[in-house]
Amino acid sequence: MSDSTVEFSPAAAPLAEELLPAALEIIARYPEGRSRSALLPLLHLVQTEEGFVSPSGVAFCAEVLGINKAQVGAVATFYTMYKRRPTGDYLVSVCTNTLCNVLGGQEVYDQLSEHLGVGHDETTADGRITLEHAECLAACDYAPVVTVNYDFAIDQATPDTAVGLVDRLRNGERPTPSRGARICTLKEMQIQLAGFSDIRDGAVADGQAGAPTLRGVTLAQEHGVAVADFNPDTPITKTKPSPREENRGKVATVVDRATHAVKAVADKVEEKVGERRSAKQATSNAGKQATSNAGKTVRAEDVKDPETRTAEQRNPTMSTPDKTGDAQAGEPVPTNPAEAAGVAQNAPAGDGKPAGDTARGVESDRTSADHPTAEANPGWTGAQRTTEEEK
């Protein structure tokens, strides 16, 4: 894809002027025909420019990927990291989930809300701080925690430390976080989330690990636990190493032997499975042949449903159209003594209505002579009428 193959609408054109080269670089990371997978980083790319996913951003993503805006909107509204309205320079998130809440997370959030004068997902008047409560920030060993633009800023936070943090941010400072990378703005964070390196000098050099994170290493050092012959300065290989030259033939021989052995076992297993399947099928066919026609005569061409066949036997003329228009439904013919006894004891109720039922509903227990002045009650057919004394 090149910039000459995309004609942007007036809504998307301003963003395309700024973001198209980076957008094409993101799309090129994915296999041909799978460019739609680039939507997530593209939405972060839009937020590097505007700080949120605007209607123009939705149009830009849709047009550069060749999909419709509804598909983009469905993704942008699903994930909370995509903001649908202008967001401050610093998104301050307070974890209020179970453990953080028990250890004071809600108090931290409430104090910040009162101090800043905003609620959840609201931004201060100066546009510097957007406050939100988060369900979980995955740092229970540091609870309660506060993040700024998704980086940890305060561990074991208190209302006072949280208020001090936001005040310094509003004054233009960038205080050193408890651990992790240095604090950045929301737009700078979106550059990283879009898949590009942070261009700020020393952006990831300031961070340090917290004590709970290093607890395992600390215990190992205290008790003298170490991995034998481990050199921490050993470079990490990025590709699978090839066998040394002197072992190349040996490795090939071992691999060939193992391959042949596995194939031989697989062939034997497949042969045994085939024999058991054939024996089981033969037994099943013999059983079906012995029981399928027991007690009845079945024509080879008779493939009707058993219920349909039974209904036709009881009413042989049911499929013949009534040409006179006066045919009456006949009663089913009992096929055995039990059915005949049941029919005799349960005679049809004539028109099928319950006893005492009329066209206007259930008849009253009293006649109209008992209440000569009673008015008709067409709105309550079937309702029993009573006098006040009887009530």
pLDDT tens string 55-100: 999 999 999 999 999 999 999 999 989 998 999 999 999 999 999 9
Confidence of residue 277 (pLDDT cuts 50, 70, 90): confident
Distance between CA atoms of residues 358 and 382, nearest Å: 9
Cα–Cα distances in angstroms (integers) from residue 119 to residues 80, 114, 156, 199, 228, in the given order:
16, 8, 22, 33, 54
Q: Which pLDDT value is given to residue 204?
A: 64
**76, 103, 127 — which closes off a domain?**
76
Do 94 and 19 lie in a common domain?
no
Helix (H, G, I), strand (E, B) or coil at 63: helix
In a domain, 234, yes or no: no
pTM of the model: 0.55
Range of the domain at 40: 3-76
Distance between CA atoms of residues 358 and 240, nearest Å: 89
User: How far does Cα 279 stand from its chain's mean position?
Assistant: 46
Average pLDDT for residues 261-276, to the nearest whole number? 76
Do 65 and 126 lie in a common domain?
no
In a domain, 242, yes or no: no
Do 67 and 142 lie in a common domain?
no
Do 60 and 145 lie in a common domain?
no
Examine the pLDDT at 371 and tell me if it is beyond 80.
no
Examine the pLDDT at 225 and tell me if it is beyond 60.
yes
Read off the pLDDT of residues 100-138 as tens digits, 9 standing for 90 and up: 999 999 999 999 999 999 999 999 999 999 999 998 888
In a domain, 108, yes or no: yes
H or E element at residue 154: strand 151-154
Domain count across the chain: 2
Examine the pLDDT at 182 and tell me if it is beyond 90.
no
Average pLDDT for residues 295-303, to the nearest whole number? 54
Distance between CA atoms of residues 248 and 244, nearest Å: 6
For residue 9, give the CATH number of its domain.
1.10.10
Do 103 and 171 lie in a common domain?
yes
Examine the pLDDT at 213 and tell me if it is beyond 70.
yes
Do 46 and 123 lie in a common domain?
no
> Which is it for strands 90-95 and 129-134: parallel, antiparallel or unpaired?
parallel
Q: Which pLDDT value is given to residue 363?
A: 46
The more confidently predicted of residues 185 and 247 is 185
Q: Which pLDDT value is given to residue 102?
A: 93
Do 68 and 149 lie in a common domain?
no
Cα–Cα distances in angstroms (integers) from residue 65 to residues 85, 190, 328, in the given order:
23, 20, 67
Read off the pLDDT of residues 347-356 as tens digits, 9 standing for 90 and up: 665 555 555 5
Q: Which pLDDT value is given to residue 96?
A: 92
Percentage of the chain beyond pLDDT 70 is 69
Task: Count CB-CB contacts under 10 A for residue 252.
Answer: 11
Q: Which pLDDT value is given to residue 105?
A: 93
Percentage of the chain beyond pLDDT 90 is 35
The more confidently predicted of residues 170 and 4 is 170
Q: Which residue has the tokens 């809504």?
A: 11
Do 107 and 67 lie in a common domain?
no
Paired tokens of 266: 């697989």
Examine the pLDDT at 263 and tell me if it is beyond 60.
yes
H or E element at residue 219: helix 215-222
Q: Which pLDDT value is given to residue 240?
A: 55
In a domain, 344, yes or no: no
Paired tokens of 31: 């296999």
Distance between CA atoms of residues 191 and 204, nearest Å: 14
Distance between CA atoms of residues 317 and 80, nearest Å: 67
Do 106 and 155 lie in a common domain?
yes
In a domain, 190, yes or no: no
H or E element at residue 91: strand 90-95
The more confidently predicted of residues 379 and 39 is 39
**48, 76, 104 — which closes off a domain?**
76
Q: What integer best gives the mean pLDDT of the chain?
A: 78
For residue 121, give the CATH number of its domain.
3.40.30.10
Q: Which pLDDT value is given to residue 226?
A: 81
Read off the pLDDT of residues 8-36 as tens digits, 9 standing for 90 and up: 899 889 999 999 999 999 999 998 888 99
Do 177 and 98 lie in a common domain?
yes
Longest dimension (CA), the chain: 119
Do 104 and 179 lie in a common domain?
yes
**184, 204, 230 — which closes off a domain?**
184
Average pLDDT for residues 308-321, to the nearest whole number? 71
Q: Which pLDDT value is given to residue 216?
A: 86
Examine the pLDDT at 265 and tell me if it is beyond 80.
no
In a domain, 42, yes or no: yes
Paired tokens of 32: 């041909």
